[in-house]
Structure 1
Amino acid sequence: MAGRLRARVPALTSRVVARLLSDLPVYAELPHEEIAGDIADIVQHNLRLFADVVEQRRPATDAELAQQRDSSAQRAEEGVPLDAILTAYQVGIAMCWEETARDAGPGDLPAVLEIMDRIMVLQQQLTSAVSGAYLEARQILDSQEHGGRHALMAALLAGEDLDRFTRRTGLRPAARYLTMTLALDPHDDERGQPPGSGADVAARRKIRRIRTALDRFCGVPALTALDAGGGTVLLPVAEPPPWNGPGGLCELVEEAALAAGVPVTAAAETVEPGAVPAAVARNAEIVGLVARTGRPAGLYRLDDVLLEYQLSRPSEALDGLARLLSPLEAKPELLHTLETYLAHGLDRRAAAAALHVHPNTVDYRIRRINGLTGLSPARPADLQHLNAALVARRSV
């Protein structure tokens, strides 16, 4: 059987290669010279190896699997998925088996069973050798890519001289970056679990899904510094992406939140590389303001929080505005009622429902607030002062 298989190697190689091209689109996209060269060579090598292990009734040696390991590492560098490579080996093994068993008769059953055993052992060896070499090559490549991305992000965030950075590392920044600050809520699987248990796994899964959504949006790996609570993201872009609509940034944040299974609050701004540090600082401040003012999760920009942002700047007026509400410090229920009443657009019934009290109780508390502070939400001028005072109070 081994001799017959060796004689059919050229024809069988052509058939195996043709099958790979028809069944596996990844292989069909490889250069023709690579198919006719490297791929055909490794197919022939495997066919002859199969004949040897059958004839000599033994497993393959480590040296006999060296070419397969080298080939797998090359495919890893080319970006061919591991599942496609393993499928290709499975196709070759199956066609070997078909060739071997084609002319077998009832009296050949013991030999057929022994050949099947040799096939299974060889397939196991090939899978192990190919997977190991592929993963090792990918680990090296990913480490290099990750190290380069980390260095680039560090240089951008530090405001380093980017021309000097490029000369030193060979890495060139993009023309523009979409800077984002993300705040991630805990996933349900993170809550109530001690550190180092399933909570850590849930946090890593959440972060990985966020990164996948970001990478898909920009088409290349994003520059990220994320932990379970959020962090900073830099996405290389040719032009500022649209804010709303299909393919816009609001849709990206919604998709990221859906993928991660948690609410995501984000601030974003597109800038040139030299402006990245200032944009990142501004985004972080916007996300903080959104959290302090109790706004819902979603995507924000400076225009959405102009009043809060301006009132959060240190000044004597800021302290004075905050002191307008000092008479309510000892009455937390009044302060909470005021915040809720203003947040619901002065709708006493909606505020009462949110506070789980009767609307008359809201009216009573608003009158008490007026008596203690001298300010009433019913007077337009006072309403402006009350809103500003709440913002200032959260900022000092």
Structure 2
Amino acid sequence: MEPENGTPLPLAFDGVVLHQRLSDALPELAERVLERLVDHVPVYDTMPAEQLKEIRRVVEQGIGSFAAMLRTGRLPTDDQLLSLRQSAAKRAEEGVPVEAVVRAYHVGAQECLRQMLGHATADDLEHVQAVTVLVFPFLERMTVTVVAGFFAERQAVLGEEQSARQALLTALVEGADVAGTAARWGLDVPPCYLVLDLALGTHPDEELDRVSPVIAGKRKLRRLRVELDRHVDGTVLSALSSEGGLALIPCRIEPDQVSDQDWARVAAALSHMRQVAGIDITAGAAAAAPGDIPAAVTLAQEVRRVAAASERPPGLYRLPDVLLEYQLMRPGPARNELARLVRPLTTRPELLDTVRTYLRCGLSRRDTAQALCVHPNTVDYRLRRAAEITGLDVTSGPDALRARAAVSALDAAQGAAGTSPSRTR
């Protein structure tokens, strides 16, 4: 009889067949493997006695499979390794790291070799070589089996966790039975959520000809989720695409207790996310109790849109940050009348853009010229022409305030109509 590598069986050291040596030493070998794991792999040192007893049985099964391979010369089949695959799935369910699970089998193989090689003589060279050749495919088969079982269970757990998160997010956003949904999935509901409506910029990779925009977009989202989870204490509920979406950050205080320092930490996390992902991120934000999430989502969306319409830079914005623009952009007769003041400039986009930039630059003609890449004299000329057309001299205090309100109202009206103001240089 020959094993798969062609060496005659039975394999033996010093006249004693190897599978018999391993079978006779099985209890002692299993104990040594378990001791090494407890001493050198921290997670095993924290396991209860009942779990260690189960792991010892798995170790014995692994050594038995190795002994059977030495007896037959054939690697164990998938059916023969089913119990080891199931054991790996249990470890995944228990939260044992996969590297700790795999290491147990390598430690077992090392102890088996040590047990056998201690009896080898100079006349056993051919069988030593045969055993060495068999060890590597055996470890490969065991590792593949264990990892497959581990990650099949881990994916199932992650899928269930994701389903639970999405169910709770849906209930919160739709104003459904939040308490009942949380109880069904075994989730905790905090007293408050920080609601973020996110607009994500395009990563440069998404615009490269030879790069899949779908893959680049998913990489961008993965970086964002990793950083969001890293900076947040608790489970973030999110529904994000490559363009943006919603994120609910759990908060262990009541909404009216959320301080400026709390928001500053969220803004800092958002800034770090921008750097890591390499994109612009603008977020509208609001704090709300679980039952008030639908209204908070609407408010966060409106705040983010107002910040974008008023040309705020990327960052985190709450209602107090855009209070004036928010009120000016609300539909009504006053907004329409304000928009009418500067509407004639829509036919002269270079004038409207100059007025908007001048207001944004704090009434500085030099900064305005630099932002528009034109000469300061050109800025003066355009502002005079705008004043002639509208009757608003933005270089004077009272008219500057009215012009700022009028431009915000115009942007809001055009946004509601599905158009956007022109931008020129």
2:368 corresponds to 1:384:
no
Alignment of 1:215-364 (within 5 A): 215-239=229-253, 243-244=260-261, 248-364=265-381
CA distance 1:261–1:27, shift in 2 (3 Å): farther
Q: Deviations over 1:46-98 (max 9, x none)?
A: 11221121122111133321221111110111122223322332232233233
Q: Match for 1:34: what amino acid?
A: Q
Question: C-alpha distance in 2, partners of 1:15/1:211?
Answer: 43
* TM-aligned CA deviation for residue 268 of structure 1: 2.2
* TM-aligned CA deviation for residue 119 of structure 1: 1.4
SS at match of 1:385: helix
Equivalent position of 1:204 in the other structure: 218
2:75 corresponds to 1:56:
no
Q: Match for 2:239: what amino acid?
A: A
Equivalent position of 2:422 in the other structure: none
Q: Deviations over 1:173-207 (max 9, x none)?
A: 3322221111111111111448xx62111111111
* TM-aligned CA deviation for residue 169 of structure 1: 5.7
CA distance 1:382–1:80, shift in 2 (3 Å): same
Question: C-alpha distance in 1, partners of 2:292/2:83?
Answer: 50
Match of 1:118 among 117, 131, 134: 134
Question: C-alpha distance in 1, partners of 2:248/2:317?
Answer: 16
* TM-aligned CA deviation for residue 311 of structure 1: 0.9
2:42 corresponds to 1:25:
yes
CA distance 1:140–1:365, shift in 2 (3 Å): same
Question: C-alpha distance in 2, partners of 1:287/1:207?
Answer: 19
Equivalent position of 1:134 in the other structure: 150
Equivalent position of 2:59 in the other structure: 43
Q: Which has the larger radius of gyration?
A: 2
Q: Match for 1:292: what amino acid?
A: A
Conserved in 2, the CA contact under 8 Å of 1:265 and 1:297?
yes
Question: C-alpha distance in 2, partners of 1:183/1:244?
Answer: 23
Alignment of 1:105-184 (within 5 A): 105-166=121-182, 171=187, 173-184=189-200
* TM-aligned CA deviation for residue 391 of structure 1: 0.7
Conserved in 1, the CA contact under 8 Å of 2:343 and 2:410?
no
Q: Deviations over 1:151-185 (max 9, x none)?
A: 11111100113345456666553322221111111
* TM-score (structure 2 length as normaliser): 0.87
Question: C-alpha distance in 2, partners of 1:95/1:170?
Answer: 43
Aligned length: 393
Equivalent position of 2:86 in the other structure: 70
Conserved in 1, the CA contact under 8 Å of 2:354 and 2:382?
yes
Work out the percentage of aligned pairs sharing the same amino acid. 38
Query: What stretches of structure 1 of length at least 5 have no aligned partner?
Result: none
Conserved in 2, the CA contact under 8 Å of 1:185 and 1:229?
yes
Question: C-alpha distance in 1, partners of 2:360/2:122?
Answer: 84
Alignment of 1:188-199 (within 5 A): 188-193=204-209, 198-199=212-213
Equivalent position of 2:13 in the other structure: none
Question: C-alpha distance in 2, partners of 1:216/1:165?
Answer: 26
Question: C-alpha distance in 2, partners of 1:93/1:31?
Answer: 24
SS at match of 1:248: helix
Q: Match for 1:306: what amino acid?
A: L
Q: Match for 1:144: what amino acid?
A: E
Question: C-alpha distance in 2, partners of 1:118/1:314?
Answer: 78
Question: C-alpha distance in 2, partners of 1:312/1:296?
Answer: 18
Query: What stretches of structure 2 of length at least 5 have no aligned partner?
Result: 1-17, 414-425
Conserved in 1, the CA contact under 8 Å of 2:235 and 2:250?
no
SS at match of 2:206: coil
Moved more, 244-253 or 384-393: 244-253
Question: C-alpha distance in 1, partners of 2:412/2:263?
Answer: 36
Q: Match for 1:207: what amino acid?
A: L
Q: Match for 1:119: what amino acid?
A: V
Conserved in 1, the CA contact under 8 Å of 2:339 and 2:407?
yes
Conserved in 2, the CA contact under 8 Å of 1:180 and 1:268?
yes
* TM-aligned CA deviation for residue 143 of structure 1: 1.9
